[in-house]
A = this chain, B = another copy of it.
Amino acid sequence: MSESHARSSQSSRVRELIKGSGLRCTPARQAVLGFLSRTGRPLAHSEIAKARGPAKLDRVTLYRTLAVLEDSGLVHRVQDSDGSWRFCAHVPVKKGCPGNHAHFQCTRCGEMQCLASQALPWIPVPDGALVIGKQFLICGLCPSCAATRAARKK
């Protein structure tokens, strides 16, 4: 199976997902969902915008596209350690990021990944309170940045 075939069959899957959610299948949505599912880790708005390269999407359109994909459950949103949002293609598109696990972000290179091996723990909340969502973010140095730092120290 050639690369291009793999890519094109994936594109058609992306198209189906979008249509299956009752959304109009526009180039912007295909490109964004396709890119997110190919990458498989939570990406910042700016990373997605940059990655699009020459075929630029309007800033606002990208925000709105991500919001629509999130509303339809095709993508979910996690918080960055600096307060901005990152987006990750949801289960149907790509394994990982089922939405109930912690995320790890490297404070040096800024890259983020899912820690999907363990579900979020249960934490007692005040009596009468109603839990809607949880975010667990772990910050630190990723293996490659930690290795670089250790090597520099020697």
Chain A positions within 8 Å of B, measured between CB atoms, are 79-81, 83-85, 102, 104, 106-107, 113, 115, 117-118, 121, 123-143, 146-147
Shortest Cβ distance from residue A80 to the other chain B in the assembled complex, whole angstroms? 8
Q: Pick the contact of A137 from B85, B121, B134, B143 — CB < 8 Å?
A: B134
A83: min CB distance to chain B, Å: 3
| A141 and B107 alpha carbons, distance in the complex (Å) | 31
Inter-chain pairs besides A104-B126, A134-B137, 12 sampled, C-beta below 8 Å: A79-B83, A79-B137, A102-B123, A107-B132, A115-B123, A123-B136, A128-B147, A130-B140, A131-B139, A132-B140, A135-B135, A136-B136
Contact among B81, B121, B132, B137 with A141 in the assembled complex (CB-CB below 8 Å):
B132
Contact status B138-A123, CB under 8 Å? yes
Oligomer copy total? 2
The 7 tightest CB contacts between A and B, nearest first, are: A128-B143, A83-B83, A130-B141, A131-B140, A132-B140, A121-B121, A133-B139
CA distance A147 to B130 in the complex (A): 10
Complex: how many Å from CA A133 to CA B67? Answer: 29
A135 to B81, CA, bound (A): 9
Across the interface, do A129 and B117 meet the contact criterion of CB distance under 8 Å?
no
With beta carbons under 8 angstroms apart, the residue of B85, B125, B128, B140 that contacts A138 is B125
